[in-house]
Structure 1
Amino acid sequence: MPSLDRHGDVFVLSLAHADGVNPENRFHPEWIEQVHTLLDEAEASEGPAALVTVGGGKFYSNGLDTGYLFSHADSIPEYLDLVHTVYTRLLRFPMATVAAVQGHAFGAGAMLALCHDTSVMRADRGFFCLPEVNLGMPFTEGMSTLLAERLPSRTMIDAMTTGRRYGGADALEFGIVQAVAGEDELLSTAVAQAAERVSTRGANLTSIKDSIHVRTLAALSVPTAESTFSLGQ
C-alpha cells in the first residue's frame, strides 16, 4: 500500500505498493482509502511541514483502475466521486504540496499531479498524457474544470483532444510542470522545493487555496451523473 516517510519537515507520500501489488499505482478504492489515511496522518502532525508525493518504478500513477471499472460498471459514478475526493483533498491541503513525477502520469494520475501547488518531472523518462480521447472515455465536469484551471488554454485543448504524450522537456515548455530533474535528483529537488515552504502550513493556506480553486472545487463536488461517464461511448 502507499506509505508515508518524513525528510525533516517534509512528508513524502509514496503512491507505490512496496509489495508490488498495483504496480501502476492506479486508483483502486483501497488505494484511495490508504492515501486519505496517510494524508490524515500528515495533517495530524504539529509544526512547520510540507508534502511531496512520488510514485514508484515506471509509474507516478496510471490513473483509473480500469479493471475495477469494468467489474463494477453499475457503480462508475460513485467510483469517480471517490476519485474526486483525492483531488479535492490535495487542492486544499493545509501544507505546500509538490508532485515528484518520476514516471508515467496518465489520465487520472496526470490530473493528480496537477492538484499539487507545483510539480517536478523526470527530465529523461516518463510521459504526462490524457489518453481519454483515444479510449472513448469522457471527462467528468470536475476533471474538465481542473484541467482548464491548471493548464494553459492551448496545452489543455491539445492534451485533452489529441492524447499527446509529453516528456519532461515538453511538459516544462508547455506549462504542465514547473521544473524537471534527472532521476537521481528528482525527489531531492521536490523535497528542497517543499522545504522552502514549510512555514506556510495552516488554515490560512487552505483558505487561500480555496479562493484560488473555487471553480474547480465546486465542480469536483458535483455528483457524477451516470450520463456523464460511459465507457466505450
Structure 2
Amino acid sequence: MPQLRLDRTGDVFVLTFQNADASNMLDDSTLDEFNAHLDTVEAASGNVALLITADDEKFFSNGINLDYIQSQGGMPFLLNTFVPRLDQLLQRLARFGCPTLAAINGHAFGGGALIASACDFRTMRADRGFLCFPEVDLGLALSPTMVACVNNLPGEAVRRRLALTGARIGGEEAARLGLVEAAHAPDALQPASLAMAAELAKKNRRAYATIKRSLLGPRWDALLAD
C-alpha cells in the first residue's frame, strides 16, 4: 500500500501521509514516494502550491522508523545511508520551487518535525499533537541539514529549547511562539490550510522560488555543495 497520496484541488497539490498503521514513520519507501510526488508537482505548469498533511488524527509523522533501520543494519545504515537520503529530501523541500505549507494534524516528531520545518509555512491542530525534536533523548545528533531545518523556525530561544531539551510544543503554544501561522480546531485545520495554500498559489512561481532560495542564504548553499 502506498504510504503517501497526492491529490490536486485547483492550484494546490495536497500530499497526504496515509500509513497510520506505522504512525506515518519514514523509511526508504516513504522517501521514494515523497520524491516521486515532488517530481509530479515540479512538472506541473503554472503557479501552484504544495500542502503536506496526514489522514491520521494522531500522527502527522512519528519520524524515522527505527525498527526498519534496525532491520537494515542499525546505526551504520542510519548514518551512512538513510540520513543522507533524508537530508537530500529535506534540502529539496526547503528549496522547492513553489510555496509549501505543512498542516500538522497530529504529532510531528523527529523526521516529521523536520519535514514540517523545511516547509515555508506551518499550521497546526490546536487541541492535539506536538512538534518535537526528540533526538537529544534518543542519543542521536542532528545532521547539518537537520540543524538548518530547525533554524528555519523563528526564535533562537525556542529553537534551542526544542533541539536541546526535546520539548514537546502543542499547537496553541506553537502559534504563540510563531512556530506555526495558526492553530485551528480539528475540523477547521484542513479547510483553513487549503485556503492559505490557495492564496500562496497565486504568487508568481518563479519569483517566489527565487526569493525563497535567496532568503535561505549561504548556509543552505553550503549544504548543497557537500
Instruction: Provide the TM-score with structure 1 as the length reference.
Output: 0.88
- Give how far 1:220 is off: 4.0
Say whether residues 1:16 and 2:18 are aligned partners.
yes
Partner of 2:198: 195
Over the aligned positions, Cα root-mean-square deviation in angstroms equals: 1.7
1:8-87 matched pairs, under 5 angstroms: 8-17=10-19, 23-57=22-56, 58-71=58-71, 72-73=73-74, 74-75=76-77, 76-87=79-90
Asked if 2 retains the 8 angstrom alpha-carbon contact of 1:54 and 1:102, the reply is yes
Deviates more, 1:65-74 or 1:175-184: 65-74
Aligned partners of 1:12 and 1:51 also within 8 Å = yes
- Give me the whole-angstrom Cα distance separating, in 1, the residues matched to 2:90 and 2:216: 11
Task: Please list the CA deviations of residues 126-182 of structure 1 after superposition, one character each: whole Å capped at 9, or x if unmatched.
Answer: 111111111111111221122123231000111111111111111112221111111
Find the counterpart in structure 2 of residue 231 from structure 1: none
Amino acid at match of 1:64: I
Q: Which moved more, 1:137-146 or 1:152-161?
A: 137-146
For residue 63 of structure 2, what is the amino acid of its counterpart?
G
Question: Any conservation in 2 of the 1:99–1:116 contact (CA below 8 Å)?
Answer: yes
**Cα distance in 2 between the residues matched to 1:48 and 1:222:** 28
CA distance in 1, matches of 2:152, 2:113: 14
Q: Equivalences for 1:32-181 in 2 at 5 Å?
A: 32-57=31-56, 58-71=58-71, 72-73=73-74, 74-75=76-77, 76-181=79-184
Query: Partner letter of residue 52 of structure 1?
Result: L
Q: CA deviation at 1:48?
A: 2.4
Moved over 4 A (4+): none
Distance 1:40 1:52 in 2: 15
Which stretch has the larger CA shift, 122-131 or 133-142? 133-142
Contact 2:18 / 2:54 at 8 angstroms: preserved in 1?
A: yes
Deviations, residues 7-58 of structure 1 (Å, cap 9, x unaligned): 11111000223xx55x311221111110111111122122221110001311
- Residue deviations 1:85-124, cap 9 Å, x none? 2211211112111111000000111111011111110000
Residues 15, 35 of structure 1: 8 Å contact kept = no
Identity %: 34
Cα deviation code 1:162-207 (max 9, x no counterpart): 1111111111122211111111111111110011121325333222
Counterpart CA distance in 1 for 2:34 and 2:219 is 21
Residues 15, 25 of structure 1: 8 Å contact kept: yes
SS in 1 for 2:152: helix
5+ unaligned residues in a row in structure 2: which ranges?
A: none
Decide whether aligned partners of structure 1 residues 61 and 37 sit closer, same or farther in structure 2, where only a CA change above 3 A counts: same
Structure 1 residue 222: Cα displacement: 6.5
1:147 alignment partner AA:
V
- Work out the CA distance in 1 between the residues paired with 2:141 and 2:165: 13
Separation of aligned partners in 2, 1:140 and 1:190: 30
